[in-house]
Copies of this chain bind each other. A is one copy, B any other.
Amino acid sequence: MGQIEDRLTAMGLTLPPEIVVPPGVKLPFAFVNVCGDRAIASGHGPQGPDGKVAEPFGVVGHDVTVEQAYESARLVALSMLGSLQRELGTLDRISHWVKALGMIRCGPNFGQQPAVINGFSDLILELFGPDVGRHSRSAVGMSSLPFGMPVEIEAEVLLHP
């Protein structure tokens, strides 16, 4: 489809299909909202190839290791890229990454939030390169997240005219 899609294929990565919402859950918002040259991605969680929220579930630093949560954050990136592609047609329309807010389910003594959200940032930077992929970021600890997910990330990108 596009150059970014080609790079995803070359990296051996596949974007997941539309999010399969857990039974009984109503999500009345847009996964990606395009506003002029901005596209705002809602909070995404790790998604498996079946479209469902991906394991592991639990508290990072307790039930889920930092290494596992890094992989979850990488799956969040793929989930968000899937939503962006469905909304934009091709990821080549992204001219610049703006920011990401990385949220981790963890206890009061966890301090390795950056190491977890690097799973997201590393993939974005590898895929889009250091210029387009450059983004500001926060990585912080939440008391809990929807459906027991260990990681949720929201982000904003700019689009080519």
Q: Interface residues, chain A, CB within 8 Å of chain B?
A: 25-33, 35-36, 38, 40-43, 59, 96-101, 103, 105-115, 118, 121-122, 125, 134-148, 152, 154, 158
Contact = CB atoms under 8 A, between A and B. Distances in A.
Contact of A136 (B41, B100, B137, B139): B41
A91 to B, nearest CB: 17
A53 to B, nearest CB: 10
Copies of this chain present in the complex amount to 3
B25 A99 contact: no
B140 A28 contact: no
Contacts of A26: 114-115, 118
A110 B59 CA distance: 12
Given A29-B121, A113-B145, A145-B141, A136 B106 contact: no
Given A41-B136, A158-B35, A110 B144 contact: yes
B28 A118 contact: yes
Nearest to A36: B158
Nearest to A117: B29
Contacts of A99: 33, 40, 42, 154
Contacts of A107: 108, 143-144
A31 to B, nearest CB: 7
Given A118-B26, A142-B143, A143-B141, A32 B136 contact: yes
Contacts of A146: 111-114, 139-140
